[in-house]
Amino acid sequence: MFKRSSLISLAIICSTAAIAQQSAHVHGFASINLAIDDEELEIEFVSPAESIVGFEYEPSNAAERKAVADAIALLRDPAKLFVLPASAGCELNEVEAEQHAEDEHGEHDEHDDEHAHEDSDAGESHSEFHAHYHFECKNTAIETIDLRLFETWPRIAEVRVQALTPRGQTGGNIDASDPVIRLQ
Amino acid sequence: MNMLRLAWKSLLNRRSTALLTMLTIAVSVALLLGVEKMRLHARQSFANTVSSTDLIVGARSGSVQLLLYSVFRIGNATNNISWESYREIAALPGVRWAIPISLGDSHRGYRVVGTTRDYFEHFRYANKRRLEFSAGRAFEDTYDAVLGAEVALQLGYQSGDRLILTHGLGADGLAADHSDKPFAVSGILAPTGTPVDRSVHVSLAGIEAIHINWNKIETNPTLARSSSDLRPRAITAFMLGLDSRLLAFKLQREINQYAREPLLAIFPGVALQELWDLMRVGEQALLIISLLVAAAAMVGLLAVSLAALNERRREMAILRSVGASHLHVMGLLVSESALLTAFGIVLGLVLQNAVLLVLQPWLVDQFGLLLPLGLPGAREWATLGGLQLVGILVGLIPAWCGYRNSLADGLSTRL
């Protein structure tokens, strides 16, 4: 029991940190990481801020600040991103959503070099929205998950999915023409 | 039924052209089925090679490349990774087991894999099956080796036999032999249908022992045997099993940002999917080519039927004169075409399995592909049904021409 709960908290603490450092920042290209173990389902979502709110600089006026706040509010509702099958009986018990400025981590060297003399506040930094959802499910033999995020954020053209389930690992790119994650 | 018998007799009368047409169809069917079988089972076969491994870690390169060299033993690593990094990552919280792999040596064309006893304990293939020994047991001594089923079978080794490992991947005689340090077979693994069958497994200390002084002429095996220098310095890659899948993404990020050296952690199943996505274009090209070959075979069938029609005006006229209706004559021509297609399909099934039977050992040997014999699945039957339908439809064309001819000719044909 102790082991399980400590694992969960570990996963929750760490999972929203800097997810995108392994994948390049491409506008219109989001990613979803999905893991199922026992009765737990965890989903991470990362998208360039440009694809969500249309800009990546620090919000400079009330309208932009509102756009970011609205986006985070949307992200806190998983139904705006995906729909889990009712038969799975999943209950959301943990959700996080936030905006990350990517150049804080010193990544994207080529980008920094290019704009070495420009202030990053001048609108040259990359930023991303990260969201993280943790569900407890009655039946984790989930076969498909429908994606709604293409409707919520039409600027997202493609999503890279990585899924780890008891039946194995799978992955691939999904776009609006067939917005379904198939878990074998 | 009568119609089919008549068609059969008629075909027998023209057996050489009929046989050749049938053969053309058979070849196209065999090709079509072969491509489909390859597509379906290659995927299965590759997916079976690794099971229950959450992450594979190697030097930073491409995920597909890492997958290919670490799991399928195809190609080579760009770089090794340090033993210290391995120890540090294997000790991270959430890691249940870790299997180091050291590649780069060979024995008579088979790859030598340096690893630990954890390999036999934790490695899984197909549907979470573990490795089993058909003889002997895991290596214990530095100079023990565990053979894959095929290595033992092909080279005729048994438990206790001695073998000499080669530095590098060349055939014997081309690369440096380590004849000063013979290994003894401690065990032989049961067949798995994966690249494990084609591997020689030794301990990491064994790999170090092969390399100690290997370029010096003076040798002192006893020194190497006792020396603590046999502690490995570098390995090629390692596999990780985790306590929970929920930790996998976090651990992957941690490894990919590892400060000591550039590492790459991949999910084997996801990387395999990437590989299939890359191959999809090739698969589709193969499928289109095989469909075109089938179309060509059908055009061939039509050409042969039409060419024969002219020579058979008298036959048609006689049939009409003994009371066969137009429909009968047309039915006869359609039946012939349908029969040729049906026999072609059956012959194609036989041909495909025969070719596979001959090629199977080579495919397993070269590519680790286990393509089973047997009848095709529902999808292929549907394709074959479609082909049969085309065969019948193709028969309608000479039937129509035959009908037109018999109208024009009546009984007045002069040949």
Going by C-alpha positions, the residue among B116, B51, B67 that lies closest to residue B264 is B67
Instruction: Decide if B360 contacts B371 (C-beta within 8 A).
Output: yes
pLDDT at position B107 is: 86
Q: Assess if residue B371 is contained within a domain.
A: yes
**Each residue's pLDDT tens digit, B184-225:** 999 999 988 888 988 999 999 988 887 775 544 344 444 444
Q: Assess if residue B197 is contained within a domain.
A: yes
With contacts defined as CB-CB under 8 Å, which chain A residues touch B257?
21
Q: Domain boundary at B235, B266, B297, which?
A: B266
Nearest CA in chain B to A6: B94
One domain, residues B171 and B290: no
Nearest CA in chain B to A135: B246
Nearest CA in chain B to A11: B247
Q: Assess if residue B415 is contained within a domain.
A: no
ipTM of the complex in this document: 0.76
One domain, residues B210 and B337: no
How close A132 gets to chain B, by Cα (Å)? 12
Q: Assess if residue B273 is contained within a domain.
A: no
- CA distances, B177 to each of A48, B148, B211 (Å): 55, 21, 11
One domain, residues B361 and B230: no
User: Does B170 score more than 70 pLDDT?
Assistant: no
User: Does B227 score more than 70 pLDDT?
Assistant: no
One domain, residues B257 and B115: yes
Q: Assess if residue B274 is contained within a domain.
A: no
| Residue B171 main-chain phi, psi, to 5 deg | -70, 165
Q: Assess if residue B320 is contained within a domain.
A: yes
* Total domains, chain B: 2
Residues 6+ apart with CB under 8 A from B333: B305, B309, B395, B398, B399, B402
Domain coverage including residue B179 = 55-266
pLDDT at position A126 is: 81
pLDDT at position A110 is: 41
With contacts defined as CB-CB under 8 Å, which chain B residues touch A8?
246
Residue B154 corresponds to which tokens in the numbers above?
């092909």
Tell me how far the alpha carbon of residue B164 is from its chain's centroid: 30
CB contacts < 8 A, A to B, total 74
Pairwise CB contact (< 8 Å): B244 & A37: yes
**Each residue's pLDDT tens digit, B305-349:** 888 888 887 788 788 888 888 888 888 889 889 999 999 999 999
Nearest CA in chain B to A41: B246
Q: Assess if residue B169 is contained within a domain.
A: yes
Instruction: Decide if B349 contacts B317 (C-beta within 8 A).
Output: no
Using CB atoms, pick whichever of A3, A22, A40 lies closest to residue B253. Answer: A22
Using CB atoms, pick whichever of B94, B244, B250 lies closest to residue A15. Answer: B250
Count of positions (residues) in chain A: 184
**A53 compared with B363, residue with greater pLDDT:** A53
Using CB atoms, pick whichever of A7, A11, A170 lies closest to residue B269. Answer: A170
Within chain A, what is the greatest distance between any pair of CA atoms? 55
Q: Using the 8-state DSSP alphabet, how is residue B51 labeled?
A: B
Q: Specify the pTM.
A: 0.76
One domain, residues B84 and B202: yes
**Each residue's pLDDT tens digit, A3-39:** 444 444 444 433 333 343 445 688 899 999 999 998 9
Pairwise CB contact (< 8 Å): B247 & A164: no
**Each residue's pLDDT tens digit, A68-109:** 999 999 999 999 999 999 999 999 999 999 988 765 444 444
With contacts defined as CB-CB under 8 Å, which chain A residues touch B267?
162, 164, 169, 171
SS3 state of residue A125:
coil
SS3 state of residue A82:
strand
Q: Domain boundary at B266, B291, B315, which?
A: B266
Residue A93 corresponds to which tokens in the numbers above?
């018990």
| Burial readout B91-113 (b: 16 or more C-beta within 10 A, e: otherwise) | eeebbebbbbbbbbbbbeebbbb
One domain, residues B351 and B302: yes
**Each residue's pLDDT tens digit, B383-413:** 999 999 999 999 999 988 887 776 666 555 5
**Each residue's pLDDT tens digit, B88-147:** 999 999 999 999 999 988 888 888 999 999 999 999 988 888 999 999 999 998 889 999
Q: Indicate the pLDDT class of residue B229, thresholds 50, 70 and 90.
A: low
The structural domains of chain A, with segments of one domain joined by +, span 29-182
One domain, residues B251 and B225: yes
Using CB atoms, pick whichever of A22, A164, A170 lies closest to residue B245. Answer: A164
Q: Assess if residue B271 is contained within a domain.
A: no
| Residue A13 main-chain phi, psi, to 5 deg | -60, -45
pLDDT at position B171 is: 52
